[in-house]
Structure 1
Amino acid sequence: MRRASARVPTTAGRFVEGRAEATMPSNTGPSIDTITEGGRVPQVGEGQEADENAPPIMTFGAPIAGDILAERYELVEHINNDSAGRLLWRGVDVVLRRPVAVVLRYPGGGSATEMLQAAVAASRVIHPNLVGVYDAIDEGERAYVVREWVDGRSLRELVATEALDPARATAVGNAVASALAAVHATGMVHGNVHPGTIMISDDGRVVLADARTDGADSQASDIRAVGGVLYFALTGHWPHAEVPLHGATAGHGRASTPDAVRGPDGALAAPRQVRAGVPAYLDDLTMDLLDGSLTPPPSDVLAAELARLDIPADEHFLESNGPLRFTAETGDEPSPLAAAGGRKFAVGIASLLAVALVGLLIGISVLSKGGDSERNPATAAAPSANATAGEDPPATAAAEPPKISAAKIIDPDSGDRVEVRDAEKVFDGSVEEGWATQTYRGHPNFGNIKRGMGIWLDLGEPRTVQSLQVQLSARGASAQLYTGTNEHPSSKAGDDALLEEYEKNPIGPPKENADTTMVFDAFDADTEYQYLLFWLTELPPSDGGYKVGVEEITVS
């Protein structure tokens, strides 16, 4: 996904993804059924589904199925209306041939400014747990936002049938906190975290949608909302009776969510009091987040803690009636948040981690510049002025995440090697520029003239790796991640030798027909990696042929 413009006009105008717009006749483009399988899939709108007593929706000049907006977005099916009067449609981008969600508001202009500002702000943050925003358009009589279509259900719909087990609830909380950490790192606030804006896709991906920019919320309220999400996922009840879900009254209408169980004095019952089998530490963490007298930790610290607790259910760390692996017992290592004593947040630990993360971000920014035309090694950071020979490295160095220090394009089947430049742009910290293949004709497998193409990455030294994320310009590509132990010359023969060595060592299964973000997370926790090969095998359709761009690669 490319960034939308930060400019928000109050008169008719358009906010696009930073690219020239192609035009197509209104009768072109595939049906959405050629892209997605199955029937109608519920989608999150920008708020809750409207209840029976919602005010009438203004529909003067409202579109109908088959209409094409901005000569590009074909409307296929009206899904629902939210409580704010916006219309949610399932559609298709007839240029890029991908499904999209279209959220329309009548009228546009000043009444749509907040919606458009929120969309523009959201488009600046790229994260696998955030719904991608593609376009934001104001036509005066109406305005609309075009964003990623997610096949799946909202957390509200999922929990309506049954509360989640502790492992799944922890995974959802981890994904939401990780998304908020990315948002907060930019200085922004999401302001709309609740079970209706959290989607669980059919492939298990958890995504957060529909940020607001009305200034009524803070980063702290975002973090407290994670406590509400955990409570809801574990019990099926919403703990914020004083803050209904986007205007819905508890127990009223289709948008309602059951209020939490409360004692005679109105005190909130803990998840363990509502449902058996909730681990003590997860119960305490949830209640701490909901306790207004406690200062919540930064979102990145909360995400790190929930990631530590996010245990795959198939690893059998869950007893049938007992605690998760992270429940503190005699002799066990305590949680970093629990170690501060009882149900109190480790504010000191959170502050130290936040300072360390700021330092790491500055270091990564310094180290991600420079490079030559083929191997493109990053400029090394100068040693600290007070560092002397024999001194131990700072304690924070051990926590520094792995980073890409060099990259080069691997193209063993090319004779002219015109595509082996610009590798440094895939780890420069920006999605504005990247590396792209040429356009291949006839077949997505590089026109059946190549085995594929790849990007070789050097982490500078052997490091443990948790995941590698690749941001692509379009969905539909297929790729595999490999590793090896040797560096090879940048030449046709060298690339051929490199591929022959590395393809014997795949990291996890290949990603096929993937979305715009590929995440490889099958790394061995006991293995250190220095050299990685991201290998493209199939390209998505583009410009009458097949082509893809790699906008950014990050390692964690």
Structure 2
Amino acid sequence: MSGKPTEYIAPNRKDIGQGVEDAGLAPGTVLGDGRYRLIGNVGQDVRGGAQLWRAKDSALGRDVALTILVGDRSDTQVNARARRALERAMHAASFHCVGAARVLDVISAKHGLAESDRVLGIVVAEWTHGTDLAELVKDNPVPPATAARLLQSLAVAVETAHHVGLVLGIDHPQRIRVSADGELRFAFPGVRPEASATDDVRGLGAVLFYLLTGRWPLAEAPEGVPTVQMQKDGVPVTPRSLRPIVPLELSNAAVKALAGPDSTINTGGIRTAAAMIPVLERAAATEDSGTNVMHQSPIGNPAPENDVWRERDPEPDQARKRKLSVGMAILGVATLLIVGWLGFQVAQMFAPGGSSSAQNSILPSGVTEDGEGGDDEEEPDSGPPVAAGPITPAGAAEWQPPGATLDHPNRAGDAIDGDASTAWTTSAYFESFDSDRAYKPGVGLMVSFSEATRLAQATVNSPSAGGVIEIRSSPTATPGSVDETTLLGTLSLSGGDTSLDFDEVVEGQHILLWVTGIVPVDGGYQTRINEVTFQTAE
């Protein structure tokens, strides 16, 4: 079995008719004038009268997510609800956010749905590769700090949508998937007509509760999803009461978001996604870099093997073994050469005239053997350092100022592993770092050597043309701020290899790659570093 994230497709459900019209849909059914062929049913939203399907877009040859509204076309009330849901979906078509799948098409019963008289409309969205939310927690709840990190992208999506007057409708677990990047994503747009911004905030609380406990706290949970009653003997049930390792602040945040303005639970309440985000950031910042649920991969690329998907022991890295063997062979040859050279020097010292020869070689600069001074010419300027050869770093770690949230710390080593097909990336941000609304000023990658080294050049291999990286020397591997480092030069990435020749020899053990420029990628901003290499100075 591959160690990469696998697609989880829910088995064809036999209970579709329970609460939602059957509509005669099954894998292989073709909708939308023959364009969309159903692949597998993911779930159903009883409240919205919707079935959730994965389908194949035959026109573009890609998978899509379908929210299919079903019901009796002769029922005017049902038809009116469906029309309102489709109108809201059309308004959301212009909304682009990393934490929400983009709406690609909206089809009403009057256009292209003659295949089934029970289908009232379809909302077509881009397919989110990864797994179902229920699949993530079916065995065990996730670590609290990881739950907070997973939820951040969804919370930002909700806040961004509310800022432009949209409601997502995230209060249903089967509408949410875990992307291959290790982030929660609203995967099935098509909000209920009566859904409000409050429902979205309660949805955030419900998802957080679900991640922390494995139980869904809202009413009308899907078939097979474990539930929990929010009140017991008049006292609110909290994630911490069900799982004591949950931090108090995170547990309270889930309950306060769930409360809502009309709730009988008097907790003070969280009314906006913006109020939830700082709590998630603080909780995620406590996460040990070695316990991440997922190693995040660049947008649009599969994630590598990680803790969620690994079902076997790690296999030896054959490429690393080969590199180690070659390195040992080179070291052996170099040792023999050095021993031979030392032997030759010792032999020369005891050879006839050896002492005289040694004496003649130790003369002050500018003095000849007869004791007279040489020419008065000054030695020419040595100029920039000359590269002598590559040097392999001892390690790499993501660095950010204290208190900032790390992006992809577990992937830092991919930037120095000698394999350009692996990479360390920043997270995908909604604003570039130079924007007035930027989330942070930059993200750092600290590269360290086994000892202080004389460096002449740094080269970054990256596909992120237009990105900007400051190369800085650092006195330690964990400086307190960027101001404690020294700027050596700035790289404007051109795509592929971009090199920086240092003006003078850089002597140090720690080099910081401070990413200050991220580039547009799939509706967000991100910079990727495939490989960083260094040349020593002569």
The TM-score with structure 1 as length reference comes to 0.47
The TM-score with structure 2 as length reference comes to 0.48
